[in-house]
Amino acid sequence: MMATLPPNVPAIQFDGVSKVFQGRSAVAGISLKVPQGSFTVLVGPSGCGKSTLLNMAAGLDGPSEGYVFVHGRETDGPTPGAALLFQNYNLFPWMTALDNVAFALRNTGLRWRAAREEAGRLLAKVGLAAYAGKVPAELSGGMKQRVALVRAFALKPRLLLLDEPFAALDHQTRKMMQAYLLTTWQDSGATVLMVTHDLGEALALADRVVLVSGSPGSVSGVIDLDTPRPRDASDPALRAVARRLETHLEAEVARGEFSPAELAALSRFITLPTD
Protein backbone atom coordinates (compact mmCIF):
# COMPACT_ATOMS: atom_id res chain seq x y z
CA MET A 1 0.00 0.00 0.00
CA MET A 2 1.37 3.39 -0.91
CA ALA A 3 1.53 6.18 1.62
CA THR A 4 -1.09 8.90 1.43
CA LEU A 5 0.35 12.21 0.33
CA PRO A 6 -0.60 15.57 1.77
CA PRO A 7 -3.10 17.03 -0.73
CA ASN A 8 -0.91 20.01 -1.59
CA VAL A 9 1.86 17.76 -2.97
CA PRO A 10 1.42 17.53 -6.76
CA ALA A 11 1.08 14.09 -8.36
CA ILE A 12 3.71 15.23 -10.85
CA GLN A 13 6.01 18.20 -10.73
CA PHE A 14 8.32 19.20 -13.56
CA ASP A 15 10.77 21.71 -12.17
CA GLY A 16 12.88 23.57 -14.76
CA VAL A 17 13.00 20.45 -16.93
CA SER A 18 14.95 20.29 -20.18
CA LYS A 19 15.63 17.21 -22.26
CA VAL A 20 18.29 16.89 -24.94
CA PHE A 21 18.45 13.98 -27.39
CA GLN A 22 21.68 13.62 -29.36
CA GLY A 23 22.51 17.31 -29.00
CA ARG A 24 18.97 18.43 -29.90
CA SER A 25 16.72 19.97 -27.31
CA ALA A 26 13.25 18.36 -27.16
CA VAL A 27 11.83 20.39 -24.24
CA ALA A 28 13.28 23.35 -22.39
CA GLY A 29 12.55 25.02 -19.07
CA ILE A 30 9.32 23.13 -18.31
CA SER A 31 7.86 23.87 -14.89
CA LEU A 32 4.47 22.35 -14.37
CA LYS A 33 2.47 20.90 -11.50
CA VAL A 34 -0.15 18.21 -12.07
CA PRO A 35 -2.46 18.18 -9.04
CA GLN A 36 -3.31 14.87 -7.36
CA GLY A 37 -6.52 13.37 -8.69
CA SER A 38 -6.70 15.84 -11.58
CA PHE A 39 -7.39 15.13 -15.22
CA THR A 40 -4.71 17.12 -17.01
CA VAL A 41 -4.41 17.17 -20.79
CA LEU A 42 -1.36 18.16 -22.82
CA VAL A 43 -2.08 19.73 -26.19
CA GLY A 44 0.48 20.92 -28.72
CA PRO A 45 1.87 20.52 -32.21
CA SER A 46 3.72 17.44 -33.35
CA GLY A 47 7.27 17.21 -32.01
CA CYS A 48 6.93 19.73 -29.16
CA GLY A 49 7.86 17.09 -26.58
CA LYS A 50 4.55 15.87 -25.15
CA SER A 51 5.53 12.17 -25.24
CA THR A 52 8.92 13.08 -23.80
CA LEU A 53 7.15 14.63 -20.80
CA LEU A 54 4.98 11.51 -20.32
CA ASN A 55 8.04 9.26 -20.51
CA MET A 56 9.78 11.31 -17.85
CA ALA A 57 6.68 11.18 -15.61
CA ALA A 58 6.70 7.39 -16.09
CA GLY A 59 10.34 7.35 -15.04
CA LEU A 60 11.34 5.71 -18.33
CA ASP A 61 13.72 8.56 -19.05
CA GLY A 62 15.29 11.28 -16.94
CA PRO A 63 15.64 15.01 -17.58
CA SER A 64 18.91 16.47 -18.91
CA GLU A 65 18.36 19.43 -16.61
CA GLY A 66 15.92 20.11 -13.80
CA TYR A 67 13.90 17.68 -11.71
CA VAL A 68 10.84 15.48 -12.14
CA PHE A 69 9.00 14.56 -8.95
CA VAL A 70 6.18 12.02 -8.87
CA HIS A 71 4.15 11.74 -5.68
CA GLY A 72 6.73 13.85 -3.93
CA ARG A 73 9.76 11.76 -4.94
CA GLU A 74 12.35 12.52 -7.56
CA THR A 75 12.03 9.95 -10.34
CA ASP A 76 14.78 7.38 -10.60
CA GLY A 77 13.55 4.48 -12.73
CA PRO A 78 9.99 3.33 -13.47
CA THR A 79 7.42 5.18 -11.37
CA PRO A 80 5.64 2.86 -8.93
CA GLY A 81 1.85 2.89 -9.26
CA ALA A 82 1.90 4.41 -12.75
CA ALA A 83 0.32 2.85 -15.84
CA LEU A 84 1.22 3.98 -19.31
CA LEU A 85 -0.92 3.58 -22.35
CA PHE A 86 0.51 4.30 -25.76
CA GLN A 87 -0.98 3.64 -29.13
CA ASN A 88 0.83 0.33 -29.55
CA TYR A 89 -1.31 -1.61 -27.02
CA ASN A 90 1.41 -3.84 -25.52
CA LEU A 91 -1.01 -6.71 -24.98
CA PHE A 92 0.37 -10.21 -24.45
CA PRO A 93 -0.14 -11.73 -27.92
CA TRP A 94 -0.60 -15.29 -26.66
CA MET A 95 -3.33 -14.43 -24.18
CA THR A 96 -6.99 -13.84 -24.88
CA ALA A 97 -8.46 -10.39 -24.25
CA LEU A 98 -10.03 -11.82 -21.08
CA ASP A 99 -6.73 -13.19 -19.77
CA ASN A 100 -4.84 -10.00 -20.63
CA VAL A 101 -7.19 -8.14 -18.28
CA ALA A 102 -7.42 -10.99 -15.74
CA PHE A 103 -3.61 -11.13 -15.57
CA ALA A 104 -3.54 -7.48 -14.49
CA LEU A 105 -6.28 -8.15 -11.94
CA ARG A 106 -4.24 -11.07 -10.55
CA ASN A 107 -1.54 -8.50 -9.76
CA THR A 108 -4.03 -6.69 -7.55
CA GLY A 109 -4.45 -9.85 -5.47
CA LEU A 110 -7.49 -11.56 -7.04
CA ARG A 111 -7.45 -15.29 -7.68
CA TRP A 112 -7.75 -16.45 -11.30
CA ARG A 113 -11.42 -17.32 -11.14
CA ALA A 114 -12.47 -14.01 -9.58
CA ALA A 115 -10.05 -12.16 -11.88
CA ARG A 116 -11.58 -13.76 -14.97
CA GLU A 117 -15.11 -12.94 -13.81
CA GLU A 118 -14.19 -9.33 -13.15
CA ALA A 119 -12.29 -9.12 -16.48
CA GLY A 120 -15.42 -10.32 -18.28
CA ARG A 121 -17.51 -7.62 -16.58
CA LEU A 122 -15.00 -4.90 -17.46
CA LEU A 123 -14.73 -5.98 -21.11
CA ALA A 124 -18.53 -5.96 -21.38
CA LYS A 125 -18.53 -2.32 -20.23
CA VAL A 126 -16.51 -1.36 -23.33
CA GLY A 127 -18.59 -3.45 -25.72
CA LEU A 128 -16.20 -6.40 -25.96
CA ALA A 129 -18.17 -9.20 -24.28
CA ALA A 130 -18.27 -11.16 -27.53
CA TYR A 131 -14.52 -10.80 -28.07
CA ALA A 132 -13.25 -11.80 -24.62
CA GLY A 133 -12.02 -15.17 -25.93
CA LYS A 134 -10.05 -13.74 -28.87
CA VAL A 135 -6.31 -13.22 -28.90
CA PRO A 136 -5.00 -9.76 -29.94
CA ALA A 137 -4.26 -10.87 -33.53
CA GLU A 138 -8.00 -11.54 -33.96
CA LEU A 139 -8.98 -8.05 -32.76
CA SER A 140 -9.08 -4.74 -34.64
CA GLY A 141 -6.76 -1.90 -33.60
CA GLY A 142 -9.61 -0.11 -31.82
CA MET A 143 -10.58 -3.28 -29.94
CA LYS A 144 -6.99 -3.85 -28.83
CA GLN A 145 -6.86 -0.28 -27.61
CA ARG A 146 -10.03 -0.82 -25.58
CA VAL A 147 -8.61 -3.99 -24.01
CA ALA A 148 -5.39 -2.10 -23.23
CA LEU A 149 -7.28 0.72 -21.49
CA VAL A 150 -9.38 -1.72 -19.45
CA ARG A 151 -6.18 -3.56 -18.48
CA ALA A 152 -4.43 -0.30 -17.52
CA PHE A 153 -7.31 0.58 -15.17
CA ALA A 154 -7.46 -2.97 -13.83
CA LEU A 155 -4.00 -2.38 -12.35
CA LYS A 156 -5.60 0.32 -10.15
CA PRO A 157 -2.89 2.85 -10.98
CA ARG A 158 -2.43 5.93 -8.89
CA LEU A 159 -1.23 7.70 -12.02
CA LEU A 160 -2.43 7.00 -15.54
CA LEU A 161 -0.31 8.33 -18.40
CA LEU A 162 -2.11 8.23 -21.72
CA ASP A 163 -0.48 9.09 -25.05
CA GLU A 164 -3.22 9.75 -27.62
CA PRO A 165 -5.09 6.66 -26.45
CA PHE A 166 -8.11 7.14 -28.72
CA ALA A 167 -6.44 8.41 -31.88
CA ALA A 168 -7.14 5.23 -33.86
CA LEU A 169 -10.80 4.88 -32.85
CA ASP A 170 -13.88 5.78 -34.85
CA HIS A 171 -16.11 8.58 -33.55
CA GLN A 172 -18.66 6.38 -31.75
CA THR A 173 -16.07 4.13 -30.10
CA ARG A 174 -14.07 7.20 -29.12
CA LYS A 175 -17.11 8.69 -27.37
CA MET A 176 -17.74 5.40 -25.55
CA MET A 177 -14.12 5.17 -24.42
CA GLN A 178 -14.06 8.80 -23.28
CA ALA A 179 -17.14 8.11 -21.15
CA TYR A 180 -15.53 4.92 -19.77
CA LEU A 181 -12.31 6.78 -18.97
CA LEU A 182 -14.20 9.59 -17.27
CA THR A 183 -16.34 7.38 -15.02
CA THR A 184 -13.46 5.07 -14.18
CA TRP A 185 -11.23 8.04 -13.34
CA GLN A 186 -13.97 9.63 -11.22
CA ASP A 187 -14.44 6.37 -9.31
CA SER A 188 -10.73 5.66 -8.87
CA GLY A 189 -9.32 8.95 -7.59
CA ALA A 190 -6.28 8.41 -9.86
CA THR A 191 -4.43 11.25 -11.53
CA VAL A 192 -4.63 11.27 -15.32
CA LEU A 193 -2.10 12.97 -17.59
CA MET A 194 -3.15 12.55 -21.20
CA VAL A 195 -1.84 13.75 -24.54
CA THR A 196 -4.38 14.44 -27.26
CA HIS A 197 -4.50 16.19 -30.59
CA ASP A 198 -8.25 16.57 -30.27
CA LEU A 199 -9.28 19.85 -28.64
CA GLY A 200 -12.90 18.72 -28.37
CA GLU A 201 -11.68 15.73 -26.37
CA ALA A 202 -9.56 18.00 -24.16
CA LEU A 203 -12.55 20.26 -23.50
CA ALA A 204 -14.85 17.33 -22.80
CA LEU A 205 -12.52 15.63 -20.31
CA ALA A 206 -9.94 17.91 -18.71
CA ASP A 207 -9.78 19.84 -15.45
CA ARG A 208 -6.74 21.53 -16.86
CA VAL A 209 -5.48 21.94 -20.41
CA VAL A 210 -1.74 22.58 -20.72
CA LEU A 211 -0.63 24.04 -24.02
CA VAL A 212 2.87 23.07 -25.08
CA SER A 213 4.47 24.70 -28.08
CA GLY A 214 7.72 25.42 -29.83
CA SER A 215 10.80 23.38 -30.55
CA PRO A 216 12.17 22.78 -27.99
CA GLY A 217 8.75 22.64 -26.37
CA SER A 218 7.75 24.81 -23.45
CA VAL A 219 4.48 25.51 -21.65
CA SER A 220 2.73 28.36 -23.42
CA GLY A 221 -0.55 28.38 -21.55
CA VAL A 222 -2.62 26.66 -18.87
CA ILE A 223 -6.41 26.75 -18.94
CA ASP A 224 -8.46 25.44 -16.03
CA LEU A 225 -11.95 24.07 -16.61
CA ASP A 226 -14.38 23.63 -13.76
CA THR A 227 -17.64 23.06 -15.62
CA PRO A 228 -19.39 19.86 -14.48
CA ARG A 229 -19.28 16.66 -16.53
CA PRO A 230 -20.75 15.29 -18.71
CA ARG A 231 -20.16 18.56 -20.47
CA ASP A 232 -22.69 20.22 -22.65
CA ALA A 233 -21.38 21.79 -25.84
CA SER A 234 -23.86 24.64 -25.53
CA ASP A 235 -22.72 25.58 -21.99
CA PRO A 236 -21.62 29.24 -22.22
CA ALA A 237 -18.75 28.61 -19.75
CA LEU A 238 -17.36 25.86 -21.98
CA ARG A 239 -17.83 28.00 -25.07
CA ALA A 240 -15.83 30.74 -23.35
CA VAL A 241 -12.97 28.32 -22.67
CA ALA A 242 -13.10 27.08 -26.29
CA ARG A 243 -12.81 30.70 -27.46
CA ARG A 244 -9.82 31.29 -25.16
CA LEU A 245 -8.15 28.20 -26.58
CA GLU A 246 -8.81 29.35 -30.11
CA THR A 247 -7.48 32.84 -29.41
CA HIS A 248 -4.40 31.35 -27.80
CA LEU A 249 -3.76 29.04 -30.74
CA GLU A 250 -4.28 31.83 -33.25
CA ALA A 251 -1.68 33.91 -31.39
CA GLU A 252 0.66 30.89 -31.54
CA VAL A 253 0.22 30.70 -35.31
CA ALA A 254 0.95 34.44 -35.56
CA ARG A 255 4.18 33.84 -33.60
CA GLY A 256 5.04 30.93 -35.90
CA GLU A 257 4.74 28.35 -33.11
CA PHE A 258 2.08 26.39 -34.97
CA SER A 259 1.73 26.15 -38.72
CA PRO A 260 -1.70 27.12 -40.11
CA ALA A 261 -2.09 23.47 -41.19
CA GLU A 262 -1.53 22.28 -37.60
CA LEU A 263 -4.04 24.84 -36.33
CA ALA A 264 -6.57 23.69 -38.91
CA ALA A 265 -6.05 20.08 -37.77
CA LEU A 266 -6.53 21.05 -34.10
CA SER A 267 -9.44 23.39 -34.67
CA ARG A 268 -11.32 20.83 -36.68
CA PHE A 269 -12.27 19.53 -33.25
CA ILE A 270 -12.76 22.73 -31.36
CA THR A 271 -16.48 22.74 -31.95
CA LEU A 272 -17.63 20.26 -29.36
CA PRO A 273 -19.65 17.41 -30.76
CA THR A 274 -23.21 17.60 -29.44
CA ASP A 275 -23.83 13.88 -28.95
Q: Which amino acid is at 62?
A: G
Q: Which is nearer to ligand ATP, 48 or 152 (CB)?
A: 48
Residues of span 47-86 touching ligand ATP by CB under 6 A: 47-52
Q: Which is nearer to ligand ATP, 86 or 106 (CB)?
A: 86
Q: At closest approach, how far in Å is the CB of 206 from ligand ATP?
A: 17
Measured from the CB atom, is 50 or 144 closer to ligand ATP?
A: 50
Strand locations in the chain, DSSP E?
12-21, 24-34, 39-43, 65-70, 73-74, 82-85, 159-163, 191-195, 208-213, 218-224
Please say which residue, 49 or 200, places its beta carbon nearer to ligand ATP: 49
Q: Report the nearest approach of ligand ATP to the CB of residue 51 (Å).
A: 3
Q: CB of residue 45 vs ligand ATP: minimum separation in angstroms?
A: 7
Residue 46 binds ligand ATP (CB under 6 A): yes
Element (H, E) at 44: none
With CB under 6 A as the rule, give the number of residues binding ligand ATP: 11
For 2-34, the DSSP string reads: PPPPPTTS-SEEEEEEEEEETTEEEEEEEEEEE
**Which residues lie closer than 8 Å to 198 by C-beta, 6 or more apart?**
166, 167, 269
Smallest gap from Cβ 265 to ligand ATP, in A, equals: 11
Out of 16, 21, 65, 222, point to the residue binding ligand ATP (CB under 6 A).
Answer: 21
Q: Degrees (nearest 5) of the Cα angle 116, 121, 123?
A: 90
Q: Using CB under 6 A as the criterion, which residues of the chain lie in contact with ligand ATP when the complex forms?
A: 21-22, 26, 44, 46-52
